[in-house]
């Protein structure tokens, strides 16, 4: 009887208490799809959407690098494995998403690139007065316009000098030149007709930081 009892106890031990629980096999990482709804203009809202059907109610980290700056946010997917984040667009760049591993899923990741148009400003300075929407300068060498491209970086700006002919603007000259490291530049006037109305048309050139910006114009101006 003792031998039999020992045999039964030993069998129970082998069959139960001392057998390690089975660890479920980890599945493949599974796709983390990332899409970006582009902003309509620099500084406007862009939306990053993450879709991972096999990761409901899961925290994920979204990281956006654009215009030389980086930002990140932790989001939680809904019951369908979808999450989104809207933020101001500051140039072209890349989105990466990282999903942590679980007992049944390996860590996953996804990414997407996007393009955002840059922006530019052009502001006249040094004029003595503005009459009927036209800025007046005392002399040619007083003409000055401060230019700024966004994102702020060492890029290029394209400037067109135009004069008013009747009701139409005619281009006299085009030039593209480099900005300083913060995206600033200026433009003046070497020669011109003192009785003629001019304006500058400006836009930031396309580069890896942002697509070409929409064109902006200065206030019309004349000398005299």
Query: Per DSSP, what are the bridge partners of residue 122?
Result: 147
Q: What is the pLDDT of residue 30?
A: 60
* pLDDT beyond 50 at 217: yes
Question: What is the tens place of the pLDDT at every residue in 13-65?
Answer: 334 443 444 444 444 556 799 999 999 999 999 999 999 989 999 999 999 99
* pLDDT beyond 60 at 9: no
- What residue ranges do the domains of the chain occupy? 31-114, 119-223
Number of CB atoms found within 10 A of residue 162's CB: 20
* pLDDT beyond 80 at 12: no
**What CATH code would you report for 119-223?**
2.60.40.3930
Q: Which residues lie closer than 8 Å to 172 by C-beta, 6 or more apart? A: 161, 162, 163
Domains 31-114 and 119-223 in one fold: yes
Q: What is the pLDDT of residue 29?
A: 53
Cα dihedral 62, 67, 70, 71, rounded to 10, equals -60
pTM: 0.79
What CA–CA distance (Å, rounded) separates 167 from 176? 27
Question: What is the tens place of the pLDDT at every residue in 152-198?
Answer: 999 999 999 999 999 999 999 999 999 999 999 999 999 999 889 99
**What CATH code would you report for 31-114?**
2.60.40.10
Measured CA to CA in angstroms, residue 221 lies from 122, 123, 130, 201 at distances of 13, 11, 8, 12
In this prediction, residues 74-82 reach a mean pLDDT of 97
In this prediction, residues 63-81 reach a mean pLDDT of 96
How many CA atoms does the CB half-sphere of 67 hold within 13 Å? 20
Contact 97, 34 (CB under 8 A): yes
pLDDT averaged over every residue in the chain: 89
How many CA atoms does the CB half-sphere of 213 hold within 13 Å? 29
Query: Of 142, 153, 133, whose CA–CA distance to 221 is shortest?
Result: 133
What CA–CA distance (Å, rounded) separates 221 from 223? 7
């Amino acid at each position: 009887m003792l031998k039999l009892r020992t045999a039964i106890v030993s069998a129970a031990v082998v069959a139960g208490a001392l057998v390690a629980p089975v660890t479920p096999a980890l599945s493949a990482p599974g796709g983390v799809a990332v899409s970006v709804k582009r902003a309509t203009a620099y500084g406007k809202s862009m939306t990053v959407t993450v879709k991972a059907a096999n990761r409901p109610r899961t925290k994920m980290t979204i990281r956006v690098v654009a215009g030389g700056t980086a930002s990140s946010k932790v989001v939680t997917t809904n019951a369908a494995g979808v999450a989104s984040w809207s933020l101001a667009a500051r140039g072209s760049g890349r989105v990466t998403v990282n999903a942590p591993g679980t007992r049944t899923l390996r860590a996953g990741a996804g990414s997407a690139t996007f393009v955002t148009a840059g922006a530019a400003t052009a502001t006249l300075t040094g004029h003595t007065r503005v009459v009927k929407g036209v800025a007046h300068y005392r002399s040619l060498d007083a003409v000055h316009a401060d230019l700024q491209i966004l994102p702020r970086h060492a890029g290029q700006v394209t400037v067109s000098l135009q004069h008013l002919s009747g009701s139409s603007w005619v281009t006299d000259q085009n030039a593209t030149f480099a900005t300083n490291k913060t995206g600033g530049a200026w433009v003046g006037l070497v020669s011109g007709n003192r009785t003629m109305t001019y304006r500058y048309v400006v836009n930031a050139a396309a580069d890896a930081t942002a697509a070409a910006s929409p064109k902006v114009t200065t206030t019309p101006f004349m000398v005299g």
